[in-house]
A and B are shown apart, each in its own frame.
Chain A
Amino acid sequence: MHMEARKYVWEGAIPLQIHLHESEVTTLPPPPPALILAPRIGYLPLLVGLIKPYFGSSLPPGVDTIWFEYKGLPLKWYTPTGVLFDLLCAEPERPWNLTVHFRGYPVHVLIPCEGEDSVKWSFINSLKEAAYIINGNCKNVMNMSQSDQVELWRSVMNVAGNLEAYLRVSSKLKLITVEDDYTVKLNSSSKSQQGTGETDFAGQVKTGRIPVRLYVWSVSEDFDDLEDAPDIDCWDKISFINRPVEVHTEEAGKCFTLRDAIKTLLPEYFTDKPLFSDESPKLEDEEMNLSSEDAGSNKNTEVEEILYEHVTRNAEIKLVRIQGIEPKLEIPFSWVVNNLMNPDYFLYMCICVRVPEVNTV
């Protein structure tokens, strides 16, 4: 069916140039950086087998706990590598220069990682969560046989050439998020020629919950070029929204698009103005909105409401990135989900928004 896009996602990799942090270098000259191709859908600690032998002889004696940072920001190991890259490199940097540490784990910022087992269970818990969102229970994941579990994890861990193995095991989980509007429409139109009438909307999903994880990063200054985008130096600058998207197809034949999906998660950015517009909001609209305020509300909420309106009206979505691409928002959401989701059945989206700074007194 639509394997081509999935294959691209599955085989996607990011060239990394990994530097050992200078405080952990005990040899002269210091070891040159390691060049590694990291799978998009993989996780950074899974690279330890490749990195450790490379730097092992330069390390001081002691116990190793591997962690990575990018420009001073400790990287969350439980976030897929491709998502980290999409989020933290507005302008893709190739190779991506990361720093590796084997000491001084930042326990206050990062969840401890006990090697592959931690990553595997983080993945399985995420898969369970997705299953619950889709089916209302996680029985299929809980009841997975030991050998299927091993095979599934192995396919995620060593992604190369393992898409078939992944599909074989994951299809047993019966996690059908949404049927692809495109594919089914083609099929059903050929059937409906036979005049049954029933199949006309066979592909239209009425309602459904889709597992989505959204990373929203806000900037206050506008920029034209992604190269000028400010660095993210602290996780507090990112809002992580882990909330399912409820798909509603009200009108027959009307497609639920990526824009509709983002709108349900971030309604603040979808006032009446068109998305990606540079036009400043019209004055009369603003006045109308202010006069329609609830007259009974107290002063404080009124001020808050005005600020809210101001920020909302001037906020703008700068960038939507999924699996390294910036899809058009008119694309059917079903296509996006079915083709660009991660192996844990979550769709990870990175969104950059511009929010003008508000000077509060």
Chain B
Amino acid sequence: MDILAWDGTLSSNEFSLAAHKLADKWKRFNPSFPSWSWVACRKQPWFGSREAEGYLSLENICLLSLRKEDRGEETCQGEEGTSCFKEEEPTDSATLVQNYDCDKHYYDFHVIYNASYRVPVLYFRAYCSGGQPLVLDEIEKGLPSCSAKALSESKWTFITHEEHPYLNRPWYKLHPCGTSEWMKLLFLGDTTQKKNGVAIELYLVAWFSVVGQVVGLSIPSEMLNDSNPL
């Protein structure tokens, strides 16, 4: 597809394709980190679904609250709390865990297709090690400072509390109304895509490289630069 004619959106089938691509790449470039899984679901429980409907899920992720140090994206795996996502000096890590143990927040992330906006939407919820859900004020403290700023400026339109479309429970969601626009800009800036047309299967990788940062999850740059179509 010619990128200039493209509106920055994708269809539900393309979403499923691109979601599997994100999961595969993630596994390849982040082998030590928990992997995304595809949750197939039926919109109507009494029917076998004929469409490949479902969403991506990454659960039980521990994000350390590090804003005071302004280190942003330090992330470590849920259960052990030791195997770190990004390499860092071991002494540093130990200190951080010691000092901020009480700040340990666990996150569940779901990436769900939105048929109205025709884009992926990030849903998440957060809880303490004891299992109590965190309210937005507490989550805000753990967010990278730029997200916290955006949140305080646009309380009702940036991160909203909404119903999870499949689980019928309150989750947080990053509002998708601008997604198609910035996705188009993102792809326009990519010379390969400009030349060869829109690589829709890479949509979610590119999308998550932006959206992940909002919640402090960054993806390795090698993963972004990897143009291997497999």
**Chain A interface (Cβ < 8 Å from any Cβ of B):** 76, 107-112, 117, 121, 124-125, 128-129, 132-133, 136-138, 142, 211, 216, 218, 235-236, 239-244, 268, 304-305, 307-308, 311-312, 355
User: Contact at B161–A268, with CB atoms within 8 Å?
Assistant: no
Which residue on chain A has the smallest CB distance to residue B45?
A239
Bound complex: CA of A76 vs CA of B163, how far in Å? 10
Say which residue of B45, B50, B175 sits within 8 Å of A125 (CB atoms).
B175
User: Which 6 interchain pairs have the tightest Cβ spacing?
Assistant: A121-B156, A308-B48, A243-B115, A111-B170, A355-B46, A239-B44
User: Contact at A110–B170, with CB atoms within 8 Å?
Assistant: yes
Secondary structure of the B contact surface, majority rule: loop
Which residue on chain A has the smallest CB distance to residue B47?
A268
CB distance from B7 to the nearest CB of A (A): 7
Does B160 sit within 8 A of A, measured CB to CB? yes
**Chain B interface (Cβ < 8 Å from any Cβ of A):** 7, 43-48, 50, 115-117, 133, 156-157, 160-163, 165, 168-170, 175, 177, 181
Bound complex: CA of A259 vs CA of B170, how far in Å? 32
Say which residue of A235, A243, A304 sits within 8 Å of B168 (CB atoms).
A235
User: Contact at B169–A311, with CB atoms within 8 Å?
Assistant: no
User: Contact at B161–A133, with CB atoms within 8 Å?
Assistant: no
Bound complex: CA of A128 vs CA of B162, how far in Å? 15
Residues of B within 8 A of A142 (CB): 177
User: Contact at B165–A240, with CB atoms within 8 Å?
Assistant: yes
Residues of B within 8 A of A138 (CB): 177
Which residue on chain B has the smallest CB distance to residue A141?
B177
Which residue on chain B has the smallest CB distance to residue A142?
B177
User: Contact at B169–A132, with CB atoms within 8 Å?
Assistant: no
Which residue on chain A has the smallest CB distance to residue B9?
A136
Say which residue of A109, A128, A268 sits within 8 Å of B177 (CB atoms).
A128
Which residue on chain A has the smallest CB distance to residue B156?
A121
Residues of A within 8 A of B48 (CB): 304-305, 307-308, 311
10 additional contacts (CB under 8 A) given A236-B168, A243-B115, A311-B46: A111-B163, A117-B156, A129-B177, A132-B177, A137-B181, A138-B177, A218-B46, A243-B116, A305-B48, A311-B48
User: Contact at B116–A132, with CB atoms within 8 Å?
Assistant: yes
Residues of A within 8 A of B43 (CB): 239, 241
Which residue on chain A has the smallest CB distance to residue B163?
A111
Residues of B within 8 A of A124 (CB): 156
Residues of A within 8 A of B116 (CB): 129, 132-133, 211, 242-244
User: Contact at B46–A132, with CB atoms within 8 Å?
Assistant: no
Residues of B within 8 A of A311 (CB): 46-48
Known A125-B156, A128-B177, A132-B117: A216·B169 in contact at CB below 8 Å: no
Residues of B within 8 A of A108 (CB): 133, 169-170
Bound complex: CA of A209 vs CA of B81, how far in Å? 47
Residues of A within 8 A of B44 (CB): 216, 218, 239, 268
Which residue on chain B has the smallest CB distance to residue A303?
B48
User: Contact at A308–B165, with CB atoms within 8 Å?
Assistant: no
Residues of B within 8 A of A76 (CB): 163
Bound complex: CA of A56 vs CA of B50, how far in Å? 52
CB distance from A32 to the nearest CB of B (A): 33
Bound complex: CA of A117 vs CA of B175, how far in Å? 17
Known A111-B161, A111-B162, A307-B48: A240·B168 in contact at CB below 8 Å: yes
Bound complex: CA of A250 vs CA of B162, how far in Å? 37
Which residue on chain A has the smallest CB distance to residue B175?
A125
Which residue on chain B has the smallest CB distance to residue A216?
B44
Bound complex: CA of A239 vs CA of B160, how far in Å? 22
CB distance from A218 to the nearest CB of B (A): 6
Bound complex: CA of A35 vs CA of B163, how far in Å? 30
Bound complex: CA of A124 vs CA of B47, how far in Å? 33
Residues of A within 8 A of B160 (CB): 121, 125
Name 15 interchain pairs, CB-CB below 8 A, sorted by A: A76-B163, A108-B133, A109-B170, A111-B162, A111-B163, A111-B170, A121-B156, A121-B160, A125-B156, A129-B177, A133-B116, A137-B181, A138-B177, A242-B116, A304-B48
Residues of A within 8 A of B115 (CB): 242-244
User: Contact at A109–B165, with CB atoms within 8 Å?
Assistant: no
